[in-house]
């Protein structure tokens, strides 16, 4: 127990003392893409998990943001250790930001049906901008910068609920070539969710994610999700901030190993409406392989 308290204190100090981290895009189907923001989630499914997500934000707007993610994570033979890999490409106009990071988690059982996991994330962020005319000088400029970064997270879960806190990037990143400057600010994420039985065949899973970024308004996503017959996920969400969105999603479990999902966001805030967008589209594919070991605590299939 003393060791557990020491670990908890260490991670709390690390997460609370960070003053810089690369800002990440936010997803409507965040509850199915947890590894992208919290490394402590690595291996929590107790089998190999591969997730791909593609998001086209503000469709119909010229040079709109387009984000693609790919992640893979799995526990090792030692059930307490999980490893993973996360790749995110965020394209905005002529700018590309690539996040290439490895994930490591260590899990401590704290009761018969509850696990506490600590995670570390490390890798590189690449910012690139093609040769363009800056409008002030006939010279052509280019940016292609790689910067290392670290992150950490905590994740606690049972078969009916989960909660987590993470800082995926600790250090503020300045992209500056003398002509153009970009800054990646610190972002903190807090997540939580619970599953409740509505009937024998239907379950209700409300969840929430909050994102705090230095120099930007906080965002709060509240989601009401439902699971029917262990096959269909469907639900709606709302994001509270200056660019508020109403979202809806539907996922279908094609087989025990493969799931596909789609989400649509409609901007409701003044900023979103002013863009004249027809909405945001998001597609997710999830593939899982392997069997959970018998006789030990099973990670909740709902998370």
On the question of pLDDT at 81 being above 50, the answer is: yes
Q: What is the model's pLDDT at position 271?
A: 60
Q: Mean per-residue pLDDT for 248-277?
A: 83
Say what the pLDDT of residue 213 is: 82
Asked whether the predicted pLDDT for residue 116 surpasses 70, the reply is yes
Confidence of residue 222 (pLDDT cuts 50, 70, 90): very high
pLDDT at site 201: 93
* Maximum average pLDDT range among 47-51, 134-138, 272-276: 47-51
Pick the residue with more confidence: 297 or 277? 277
Check residue 64 and give its pLDDT: 81
Q: Round to whole Å and give the CA distance between 109 and 152.
A: 19
Mean pLDDT, rounded, for 117-128: 93
Per-residue pLDDT, 13: 40
Check residue 243 and give its pLDDT.
62
Considering the chain, what is the average pLDDT of its residues? 82
Q: What is the mean pLDDT of residues 283-292?
A: 88
Measured CA to CA, the distance from residue 185 to residue 170 in angstroms comes to 9
Region label for 203, one of left (φ > 0), alpha (ψ between -120 and 50) or beta (otherwise): beta
- Which residues is 251 bridged to in the sheet? 233, 261
Beta strand 173-176 pairing with 258-267:
unpaired
22-26, 118-122, 228-232 — most confident range: 118-122
Domains of the chain: 2-289 (2.40.160.60)
Give the distance between the most distant pair of CA atoms in the chain: 69
Non-local (6+) Cβ contacts of 236 within 8 A are 223, 224, 246, 247, 248, 249
Which range of 138-142, 150-154, 240-244, 294-298 scores highest in mean pLDDT? It is 150-154
Which residues touch 300 (CB under 8 Å, ≥6 apart)? 157, 158, 159, 160, 162, 195
Residue 250 φ then ψ, to 5°: -145, 130
**What DSSP string runs through the chain?**
-HHHHHHHHHHHHHHHH----------TTGGG-GGGT-GGGTTTTSSEEEEEEEEEEEETSTT--EEEEEEEEEE-SSTTEEEEEEEEEEEETTEEEEEEEEEEEEEEEEETTEEEEEEEEEEEEEEEEEEEE-SS-SSEEEEEEEEEEEEEEEEEE-SSEEEEEEES--S-EEEESSS-EEEE--EEEEEEEE-EESSSSEEEEEEEEEEEETTS--EEEEEEEEEETTTEEEEEEEEESTT-EEEEEEEEE-SSSEEEEEEEEEE-SHHHHHHT--EEEEEEEEEEES-PPTTSPPPPTT-
Query: Whole-angstrom Cα distance, residue 58 to residue 265?
Result: 9
Q: Give the pLDDT confidence score for residue 61 in this predicted structure.
A: 76
DSSP bridge partners of 47: none
| pLDDT at 132 exceeding the cut of 80 | no
Q: Write down the pLDDT at residue 175.
A: 61
Give mean pLDDT, residues 236-246: 80
List pLDDT tens digits, range 27-65.
889 999 999 999 999 999 889 999 999 999 877 777 788
The pLDDT score that the predictor gives to residue 275 is 65
The answer to whether 18 and 186 are in contact (CB under 8 A) is yes
Which of 122-136, 212-226, 273-287 tops mean pLDDT? 212-226
pLDDT score of 115: 94
Answer yes or no: is pLDDT of 297 > 80. no
Over residues 247-269, the mean pLDDT reads 90
- C-alpha separations of 77 from 11, 69, 157, 286 in Å: 25, 27, 20, 22
Residues above pLDDT 90, as percent of the chain: 50
Phi and psi for 302 in degrees, rounded to 5?
A: -80, -10
Structure tokens at 25: 């895009």
CA nearest neighbour of 49 among 265, 257, 238, 246: 257
| pLDDT above 90 for 244 | no
């Amino acid at each position: 127990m003393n060791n557990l308290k020491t670990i908890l204190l260490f991670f709390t100090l690390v997460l609370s003392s960070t003053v810089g981290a690369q800002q990440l895009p936010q997803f409507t189907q965040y509850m199915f893409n947890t590894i992208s923001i919290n490394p402590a989630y690595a291996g929590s499914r107790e089998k190999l998990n591969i997730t791909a997500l593609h998001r086209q934000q503000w469709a119909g707007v010229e040079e709109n943001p387009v984000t693609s993610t790919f992640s893979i994570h799995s526990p090792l033979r030692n059930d307490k250790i999980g490893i993973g890999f996360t790749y995110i490409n965020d394209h905005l106009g002529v700018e590309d930001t690539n996040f290439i990071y490895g994930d490591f988690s260590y899990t401590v059982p704290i009761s018969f049906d509850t696990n506490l996991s600590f995670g570390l994330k490390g890798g590189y962020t690449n910012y690139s901008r093609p040769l363009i005319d800056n409008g002030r000088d006939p010279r052509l400029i280019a940016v292609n910068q790689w910067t290392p970064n670290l992150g950490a997270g905590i994740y606690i879960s049972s078969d009916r609920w989960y909660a987590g806190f993470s800082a995926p990037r600790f250090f503020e990143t300045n992209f500056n070539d003398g002509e153009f400057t970009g800054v990646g600010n610190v972002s903190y994420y807090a997540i939580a969710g619970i599953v409740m039985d509505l009937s024998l065949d239907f379950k209700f899973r409300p969840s929430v994610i909050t994102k705090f970024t230095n120099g930007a308004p906080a965002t709060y996503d509240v989601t009401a999700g439902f699971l029917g017959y262990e096959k269909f996920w469907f639900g709606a969400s709302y994001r509270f901030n200056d660019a508020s969105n109403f979202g809806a999603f539907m996922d279908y479990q094609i087989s025990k190993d493969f799931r596909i999902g789609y989400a649509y966001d409609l901007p409701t805030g003044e900023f979103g409406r002013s863009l004249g967008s027809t909405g945001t589209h998001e597609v997710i594919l999830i593939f899982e392989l392997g069997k959970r070991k018998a006789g030990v605590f099973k990670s909740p299939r709902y998370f």
